[in-house]
């Protein structure tokens, strides 16, 4: 699912295409896509408005509209936005089309249909987007933006110190911090050397600081790389490349970039979680509560891990890795790519050696000619 860096990328791309565009009509084809309006009401509600800003809040796009309103787009699993000339070929997965006076359209395409679009008024009293005047603000339950300047390590500390949840669940909680999802939670926890099942209550000040610095660093890097184009994510101006720089997410069964031991995958609260059990130790206090989740990784009797004292962190065998078929296929693909790369590098070296030999021989011949001619 697109997370903060992906949605930020879509917002930045879209800004270049639709800022100032005037909406003349809109139509939807799937009722559940629209959070706030019936299908036949969205056109009249949008017509005549101009797009005045394109931004993001958490994992949602926020289009500021003339007439004191915003349009939010939550891409969820498979949502995509494209700006195309009217009349460009459409497919059955386009759930909402917004037509502009300049002959172009903004199309919301969503295969799985989990994406949601909402049109909200700005409350004149609070200046917050609301479903109805006097009602709750749309983003009232959304936590702070992790890359905001105001979100200091101090602010993060004061938030996390009141929490006891497991770190993975906490990072995914949009009310705790906005915009982090499965990909960047796993990457940040690995980078900060913190176990995903660790309780926030066990963090020391140095752990809190490392976690804060790492999720900010990774999110910022992912924005520069235009996000991770995994599954269906793409942006109006093209794919991202962060997926090539992820170190644990969907890398189960491959060596940890830090210690070389194999990355593992467990399912936590229905979400796949990737980590290195060597670099990301679980404190003793958290082991009992994490046992049920980690039971799938219990080493078989007689395995090396049991002989060493039954530490679940030291498992071996493919079954303990919890890889999906996809990850196995990708790991095999990457292994093939690495082998091909080694072969290429080998061939390159051989060519370089041959070239050196050829030059040395040519020099010898030249010296020999000079020697014989000048004598």
Nearer to Zn ion, 193 or 216 (CB): 193
Q: How far is the CB of 283 from Zn ion (least distance, A)?
A: 17
Is 144 tagged catalytic?
no
CB nearer to Zn ion: give 93 or 278.
278
Instruction: Based on the residue annotation, tell me whether 2 is a catalytic residue of this protein.
Output: yes
Query: How far is Cα 353 from Cα 340, in angstroms, rounded to an integer?
Result: 20
The 3-state secondary structure of 75-117 reads CCCCEEEEEEECCCCCCCCEEEEEEECCCEEEEEEECCCCCEE
Indicate whether 114 belongs to the interface with Zn ion (CB under 5 A). no
- Non-local (6+) Cβ contacts of 315 within 8 A are 264, 277, 297, 299, 303, 305
85 as an active site residue: the answer is: no
Could you tell me the smallest distance in angstroms from the CB atom of residue 278 to Zn ion? 5
| List of residues 6+ apart from 192 with CB closer than 8 A | 207, 210, 211, 213, 214, 215
Number of residues forming the site for Zn ion (CB under 5 A): 6
Question: Which 8-state DSSP code applies to residue 352?
Answer: H
Which part of the chain contacts Zn ion (CB under 5 A), choosing from 3-11, 201-209, 268-276, 317-325?
268-276
Q: Please tell me which residue in 76, 225, 261, 271 is annotated as part of the active site.
A: 271
Give the residue among 117, 71, 65 at the shortest CA–CA distance from 94: 117
Minimum CB distance to Zn ion, residue 277 (Å): 8
Burial annotation 213-237 (CB, 10 A radius, 16+ → b, else e): ebbbebbeebbebbbbbbebbbbbe
The binder of Zn ion chosen from 131, 278, 324, 328 (CB under 5 A): 278
**Residue 163 within binding range of Zn ion, rule CB under 5 A:** no
Catalytic residue from among 3, 6, 214, 327: 3
Question: Of the ranges 6-14, 22-30, 129-137, 270-278, which one interacts with Zn ion (CB under 5 A)?
Answer: 270-278
As measured in angstroms, the least distance from the Cβ of 247 to Zn ion is 10
Among 279, 290, 320, 331, interactor with Zn ion by CB under 5 A:
279
Residue 38, C-beta contacts closer than 8 angstroms, at least 6 positions apart: 31
- 252: contact with Zn ion by CB under 5 A: no
Min separation Cβ 204 and Zn ion, Å? 20
Least CB distance to Zn ion at residue 255 (A): 8
- 8 A C-beta contact, residue 173 and residue 200: no
Neighbouring C-beta atoms of residue 340, cutoff 10 Å:
10
Tell me which of 49, 56, 57, 59 is the catalytic residue: 59
Contact between 139 and 128 (Cβ < 8 Å): yes
Is 59 known to be catalytic?
yes
Beta-carbon contacts of residue 330 (< 8 Å; ≥ 6 apart): 250
Per CB under 5 A, the list member of 90, 224, 259, 285 interacting with Zn ion is 259
* Residue placing its CB nearer to Zn ion in the complex, 26 or 279: 279
Cite the active site residues: 2-3, 59, 271
């Amino acid at each position: 699912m697109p997370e903060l860096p992906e949605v930020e990328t879509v917002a930045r791309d879209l800004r270049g295409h639709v800022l100032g565009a005037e909406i003349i009509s809109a139509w939807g084809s799937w009722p559940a896509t629209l959070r706030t309006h019936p299908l036949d009401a969205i056109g009249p509600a949008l017509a005549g408005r101009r797009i005045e800003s394109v931004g993001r809040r958490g994992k949602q796009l926020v289009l500021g509209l003339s007439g004191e309103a915003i349009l939010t787009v939550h891409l969820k699993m498979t949502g995509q936005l494209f700006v195309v000339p009217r009349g460009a070929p459409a497919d059955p997965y386009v759930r909402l089309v917004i037509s502009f006076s300049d002959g172009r359209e903004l199309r919301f395409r969503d295969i799985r249909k989990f994406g949601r679009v909402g049109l909200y008024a700005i409350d004149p009293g609070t200046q917050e987007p609301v479903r109805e005047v006097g009602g709750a603000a749309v983003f009232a339950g959304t936590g702070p933006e992790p890359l905001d300047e105001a979100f200091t390590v101090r602010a993060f500390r004061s938030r996390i110190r009141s929490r006891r949840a497991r770190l993975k669940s906490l990072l995914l909680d949009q009310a705790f911090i906005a915009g982090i999802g499965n990909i960047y939670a796993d990457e940040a926890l690995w980078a900060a050397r913190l176990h995903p099942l660790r309780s926030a209550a066990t963090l020391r000040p140095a752990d809190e600081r490392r976690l804060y610095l790492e999720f900010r660093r990774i999110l910022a890097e992912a924005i520069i790389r235009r996000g991770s184009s995994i599954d269906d994510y793409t942006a109006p101006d093209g794919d991202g490349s962060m997926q090539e720089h992820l170190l644990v997410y969907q890398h189960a069964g491959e060596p940890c970039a830090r210690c070389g031991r194999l990355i593992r995958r467990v399912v936590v609260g229905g979400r796949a979680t990737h980590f290195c059990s060597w670099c990301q130790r679980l404190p003793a206090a958290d082991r009992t509560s994490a046992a049920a989740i980690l039971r799938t990784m219990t080493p078989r009797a007689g395995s090396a891990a049991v002989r060493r004292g039954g530490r679940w962190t030291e498992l071996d065998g493919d079954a303990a890795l919890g890889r999906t078929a996809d990850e196995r296929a990708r790991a095999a693909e990457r292994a093939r790519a690495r082998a091909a790369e080694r072969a290429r590098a080998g061939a390159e070296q051989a060519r370089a050696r041959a070239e050196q030999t050829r030059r040395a021989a040519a020099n010898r011949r030249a010296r020999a000619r000079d020697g014989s001619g000048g004598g």
